[in-house]
Amino acid sequence: MNASPAIIILGASALATAKRLQALYPQARIHGLQGRVEGADELYQDFGDTLRALYRGNTPLIALCAAGIVIRSLAPLLQEKGAEPPVLAVAEDGSAVVPLLGGLAGVNRLARGIAAALEVAPAITTSGELRFGTCLLEPPAGYELADIEQGKRFVADLLGGESLRIEGEAPWLAEAKLPLAEDARRSVRVTCEARPAQRDELLIHPRCVLAEIEAPTGNLETLVHNALAAANLAPAALAALLAPREHMADVRLGEVARALGVPLRFIAEDVLPPVHSSQNGIRLRLADSPEQAAVIGRPRGRLSVIGLGPGAAEHMTPAVRRALDEAEDLLGYETYVKMAEPLRPEQVRHCTDNREEMQRARHAFELAASGRKVVVISSGDPGVFAMAAAVMEALHESDDPEWHNVELEVLPGVSAALAAAAKAGAPLGHDFCLISLSDNLKPWDIIEKRLAHAGLADLAMAFYNPISKARPWQLGRALEIVREHRAPETLVVLGRDIGRPAEALRVLTLGELQPEMVDMRTLVIIGSSLTRRFPRADGGDWVYTPRWYR
């Protein structure tokens, strides 16, 4: 199963079971009907539309409602060729688990997992599976069925009384209850060989072939295909592309691997299986098993420097959510790592309270250089008074080629100033500047100079890190400077914990503003001379800075 399942509920009575299933699949989102369910992760308006959209997107569906409702909702899509994700109906009290669709996408496996957690028997109805204790058409990871239509006929023959032999290594079938016989006419054949599936065989390719690219030139995809064809090996038996470490940063390699649908790994002094054949710079090697093939070489590490946004999950970009879901290691303040949930237990959290950002950045490179997928977490935007610049600096200072070979990406987020401004209306609707009042890493007189110039330029200003226990007087001094250039009526917005449960927004004037009203979780916006306000119908004020000047 590639994607995390969606758990869909109609009413609050299903929430308890939904949460039990979410504990089983921490990445799964609970979708609840708007107005009827509180405590869901997503709210929907129309059950049918939601189900169909998720189904089309190939999302596994666990619907906590009557099977009939699910069937009716998806019926219009069933004629279409295309995605067929697993679809299950689960009784809202958890007493029944009914796999409905997605037999080849692992629905029965999903049903067994859910049923085990709910301590009930799954309603498995697939004859082959009931009879043989395994779905022959769904071999485990590392094995590919060559021809599904041929496979269906094969299983029908077995159900009709034919017996079978196993040729090749099929360790997962050891547990199955198959009608084995030495002299059987039918056979399960596990081989890397490229050949059309015969009427009397179930052809399964183990992913044991490794294609090693000596130098990334030419049309690599074609070269790999040609090499496989010349060696009479099935493309479905390809386990991975291998390349020498020195080509790690070559984007063409990543592109071919994606086009071929296999992972890309890099080799140095790894123990490699002997060369099977070689053609035009492509060496093919055969591992003894898919398990062995899967651990040869190591992937290019990735370091994603991400911004969570101000707090609420809905303000996090999908790219950031994806990076978090794919991460093996997460680094950041404990609060931010918590905000990045849901995470899986196997994802390693390196929580730190220390302020040593450079140390954290270097630790991130060390992990990523060893081939891991690493995420460095900031709140808001990672480039705004946060980790991205520290990560860049750490790399700039390093002459370690392994660090420079890491796939580095910075994924933006909604910065506190933008989130707070949006809550208030548009106080940053014209030219503005962002200033951190922290003098930890810059001299205070630079800050004073910038405040004076921003004041003189009539820029709206957003203050980050306005005050803290260690920096108690700086905000008061900053306001003195601002007041030299801005009238007491100038509008001020204080946004505290924006996007988080304790969110508070306050609009006042520069004359009224006292440092005591502000803490380190507050973002301070000082308007320009043109920033204005007017009452909003639901109470409070809208604040905006017009786009014009006069």
386 binds ligand SAH (CB under 6 A): yes
DSSP sequence for 381-431: -TTSSSHHHHHHHHHHH---HHHHTSEEEEE----HHHHHHHHHEETTSSS
416 binds ligand SAH (CB under 6 A): yes
DSSP state of 517: G
Per-residue x/- track, 290-319, ligand SAH (CB under 6 A): --------------------xx--------
DSSP sequence for 177-199: ---B-TT-SEEEEE-SB--PPPT
361 binds ligand SAH (CB under 6 A): no
HEC string of 227-242 equals HHHHCCECHHHEEEEE
Which is nearer to ligand SAH, 209 or 424 (by Cβ)? 424
Is the CB of residue 462 less than 8 Å from the CB of residue 525?
Answer: yes
Is the CB of residue 221 less than 8 Å from the CB of residue 211?
Answer: no
379 binds ligand SAH (CB under 6 A): yes
* Residue span binding ligand SAH (CB under 6 A) among the ranges 92-100, 171-179, 185-193, 514-522: 514-522
Is the CB of residue 490 less than 8 Å from the CB of residue 509?
Answer: yes
340 binds ligand SAH (CB under 6 A): no
Residue with nearest beta carbon to ligand SAH: 380
59 binds ligand SAH (CB under 6 A): no
* Residue span binding ligand SAH (CB under 6 A) among the ranges 146-154, 178-186, 201-209, 376-384: 376-384
332 binds ligand SAH (CB under 6 A): no
495 binds ligand SAH (CB under 6 A): yes
Q: How many residues bind ligand SAH (CB under 6 A)?
A: 25
Q: How far apart are CA 462 and CA 526, in angstroms?
A: 6
412 binds ligand SAH (CB under 6 A): no
CA neighbours closer than 13 Å in the CB half-sphere of residue 231:
25
CB of 266 to ligand SAH, least distance (A): 33
Q: Which residue type sits at 388? A: A
CB of 357 to ligand SAH, least distance (A): 11
385 binds ligand SAH (CB under 6 A): yes
Region of 195 please: left (phi>0), alpha (psi -120 to 50) or beta.
Answer: beta
Helical H segments across 435-489, by residue range: 444-456, 474-485
Per-residue x/- track, 430-469, ligand SAH (CB under 6 A): ----------------------------------xxx---
- Tokens matching residue 374: 């690493």
85, 297, 380, 429: residue in contact with ligand SAH (rule CB under 6 A): 380
CB of 380 to ligand SAH, least distance (A): 2
* Residue span binding ligand SAH (CB under 6 A) among the ranges 92-100, 186-194, 324-332, 377-385: 377-385
124, 328, 520, 541: residue in contact with ligand SAH (rule CB under 6 A): 520
Task: For residue 417, give Cα distances in angstroms to 137, 139, 389.
Answer: 54, 52, 18
CB of 364 to ligand SAH, least distance (A): 16
